[in-house]
Amino acid sequence: DAKTTQPNSMESNEEEPVHLPCNHSTISGTDYIHWYRQLPSQGPEYVIHGLTSNVNNRMASLAIAEDRKSSTLILHRATLRDAAVYYCILEGPDYGQNFVFGPGTRLSVLP
């Protein structure tokens, strides 16, 4: 299984930036890095994905290390609604779109 490692939990203050790290030292050259999040009592939702270059969208930014062995999801201004479990997932030819969800990082946002 594609292996990613994330901290179990993190805390942030509202309206401050949040950097959520993910280690994926066994990533192969064709693996994409996906981030999903799961709000309380909901199904997971897509946040962002990338391959090699940093990516930005309206929700977040994804910073990928040059050696691709780690990545960081950046929420530029955390809101209370961003409190969720964030999952970093690898997807590639060996396991297709069949995501292997780890325990993720539980993000708490303090008002």
Binding interface with another protein (CB under 8 A): 32, 36, 38, 42-46, 49, 87, 91-93, 96-104
Of the two residues 13 and 101, which places its CB atom closer to another protein in the complex?
101
Q: Which of 10, 3, 22, 12 is nearest to 109 (CA)?
A: 12
Nearer to another protein, 24 or 104 (CB): 104
Angle, CA of 31, 91 and 30, to the nearest 5°: 20
Closest distance to another protein from the beta carbon of 47 (Å):
10
Min. distance of Cβ 70 from another protein in angstroms? 20
Cβ closest to another protein, residue 17 vs residue 40 = 40
Minimum CB separation of residue 96 from another protein in Å reads: 6
Say if CB 69 and CB 84 are below 8 A apart.
no
Nearest residue to 20 via CA among 39, 5, 38: 5
Q: How many whole angstroms separate alpha carbon 91 and alpha carbon 94?
A: 8
